Chains A and B, each alone.
Chain A
């Protein structure tokens, strides 16, 4: 079957992009136990960062990528101080509506300031096509995929082998014990939030040569990022990577066999089903207790 190699490659590359978006979301879920409803808006901000750097100063997105890390870390610290501090211990309502409010505010701020026009980032390498046998793909896709894998690996290593990572995991597992041990949980949450935003911010930068940039661009990806995170298990980063591949596969194979229009129904139904029947995700162990039941 001629199409199979292409479909496989498309799945893998698309999965890479989804993973980059989801890994930040699942980190925030996992450490803070908070759903970041504004995740898509930070993705959008990453895309706009790349756009304005390109439009104003001609900077290539891959150059901006380097700067995006400290920029989004800073954005994370600022938004944490202004908005997110104390949210973890607050009521469910606060947890939900803080990020929902943030989402509304950011989306409309972008709409007012930058208008709804569709912008494009076209660096010199945006047309480079790589062919692998019968399959073809764009250079930017491969770079996004490579960065996604590297970043996830780095994050996993960070969480597993560094002191900061272990402290974060400990806090996530048992917040009372962590406090008793003298861990400043506020700093842990702040770090998790900031790292989460860095992930999604650079995702936005990496995606800017591939997709149009507009204020509601976040919507294009955020809902399925939630699906990925739930499938992979809250807080489980390897799970996020695997979940991304599953969602990408559903999309690609679904589009090929059944048609694109219904693909969302498939993964939304899958989403609800996993939430209800396997709340810990298809692979994960943790998180089920906070989901309910």
Chain B
């Protein structure tokens, strides 16, 4: 099968191609067409994560238009250069393209933890700012990199809020002290599931002494039947099921729990997939009442609870989303748009994208909860992480086919129902 090409020929060919390409004289296309400021946006737009990535991009675009109606950034019109980060190699490669070909000095995105690590590494090597809006890997900002910032809480924040809700809001209503509460941890096995679950376990144990009765991880791609797990859990009789699920396993678990008549007092999840996604409602319909999901604000949100400037921008954002998509903002929209809005505030303050001044502006921002959209506040730590306490998160609950805001109570007109959940056919 081998061809008599001869070693010299092929080697010369290969080396020639390499040197010629490496020698091409090309500058990256410069920044600043007069009056425009270009920011790179990196999201998974193809592949399995695309449905969420596209929602993030949509949120970014809506917010970009809003920003441009309000004078743009640093007095210039905000425009995007978009990259598709389908896997870690593509994330690094596209980040590189955005920096070298599109000439961006700031990259934002990226939704998934497996992508933000690689992309931000590339950005760091080029001294480009990486402005993360969603990925939750706790190590993202602990690598000693001066150019990475994150507007959203990390996985420990998710775990923190979930346990906060369970301990302070649910336990008393079950007439239980937190350290009397039996909690079962069920989780899909990806980076997201592991990160949030371990953080929740940690806080449940350390801060409240909750009794962990079970820890079950599974692969969301191959889980076909929850009945063995449910059988096990029934025997352990937890009060609360802390279930971090993806999109195909949440309806399966919920349906099979109902079939098996597995009674628990509450189910709590975190994030925009699984119980926090619209797919769950479509899959379960009227049977889906009850589960809680930690998310950005949904219907029932008391905009009046925000500070005046926060109310204004929040209302305008909702109107814009309604006009563009015909519905309520979804988690992906809110995270992306929230992050972009904060970026605008920083750039307006710093008036430059030069790293040192940018960093100073970031650290100087100090806004209380309720100041910007989603009811967030802003206070970045030295490592570039927006503080968990400022990034207000909310517990939503499935009520009659809709995910509505129920906690914290000062932020909502609606209240959590079915505490405890009780019998399966009693939840109307």
- Do chains A and B directly touch (beta carbons under 8 Å) in the complex? yes
B-binding residues in A (CB < 8 A): 2-3, 6-7, 10, 14, 17, 111, 115-118, 120, 122, 127, 129, 136-138, 210-212, 214-217, 219-221, 223-224, 251-253, 255-256, 259-261, 264
> With an 8 A cutoff between CB atoms, is B32 at the interface?
no
A115-B51, A122-B285, A127-B287 as given contacts; A220 in contact with B279, CB under 8 Å: no
Q: B50 contacts A116, CB within 8 Å?
A: yes
Closest 7 CB pairs of A and B: A260-B218, A212-B248, A255-B228, A256-B228, A3-B231, A120-B283, A10-B227
* Other-chain contact of A136, B50, B218, B260, B282 (Cβ < 8 Å): B260
Q: B221 contacts A251, CB within 8 Å?
A: no
Q: B283 contacts A122, CB within 8 Å?
A: yes
A-binding residues in B (CB < 8 A): 46-51, 189, 216-219, 221-225, 227-229, 231-232, 234-235, 247-248, 251-252, 255-256, 258-261, 279, 282-283, 285, 287
* Other-chain contact of B216, A116, A211, A215, A259 (Cβ < 8 Å): A259
Q: A14 contacts B224, CB within 8 Å?
A: yes
Contacts of A221 in B (CB 8 A): 224
A259-B216, A259-B217 as given contacts; A6 in contact with B260, CB under 8 Å: yes
**A136 to B258, alpha carbons, bound, how many Å?**
10
Contacts of A215 in B (CB 8 A): 48
Q: B217 contacts A212, CB within 8 Å?
A: no
**A210 to B247, alpha carbons, bound, how many Å?**
14
Most buried by A among B189, B259, B282: B259
Closest residue on chain A to residue B223 by CB atoms: A260
* Other-chain contact of A10, B51, B222, B228, B234 (Cβ < 8 Å): B228
Closest residue on chain A to residue B283 by CB atoms: A120
A286: shortest Cβ distance to chain B, in Å?
A: 29
Q: A219 contacts B221, CB within 8 Å?
A: yes
**A234 to B339, alpha carbons, bound, how many Å?**
55
A/B interface sample: 28 pairs, CB < 8 A: A3-B232, A6-B227, A10-B225, A14-B224, A111-B46, A115-B50, A118-B248, A120-B279, A127-B255, A127-B287, A136-B261, A137-B227, A212-B248, A212-B283, A214-B247, A214-B248, A216-B48, A252-B227, A255-B228, A255-B229, A256-B231, A256-B232, A259-B216, A260-B216, A260-B218, A260-B223, A260-B228, A264-B222
**A154 to B221, alpha carbons, bound, how many Å?**
32
Contacts of A115 in B (CB 8 A): 50-51
Contacts of A251 in B (CB 8 A): 224-225, 228
* Other-chain contact of A129, B49, B50, B258 (Cβ < 8 Å): B258
B198: shortest Cβ distance to chain A, in Å?
A: 14
Q: B228 contacts A129, CB within 8 Å?
A: no
**A10 to B235, alpha carbons, bound, how many Å?**
17
Contacts of B279 in A (CB 8 A): 117-118, 120, 212
A125: shortest Cβ distance to chain B, in Å?
A: 13
**A215 to B47, alpha carbons, bound, how many Å?**
10
Q: B259 contacts A2, CB within 8 Å?
A: no
* Other-chain contact of A260, B46, B50, B217, B235 (Cβ < 8 Å): B217
Q: A122-B282, A223-B222 are in contact. List 8 more A-B contacts (CB 8 A).
A: A120-B282, A122-B285, A127-B255, A138-B255, A212-B247, A219-B221, A251-B224, A261-B216
**A260 to B232, alpha carbons, bound, how many Å?**
12
Contacts of A137 in B (CB 8 A): 227, 259
Q: B49 contacts A116, CB within 8 Å?
A: yes
Contacts of B252 in A (CB 8 A): 210-212
**A217 to B258, alpha carbons, bound, how many Å?**
24
* Other-chain contact of A212, B216, B251, B261, B287 (Cβ < 8 Å): B251
Contacts of A116 in B (CB 8 A): 47-51
**A284 to B183, alpha carbons, bound, how many Å?**
47
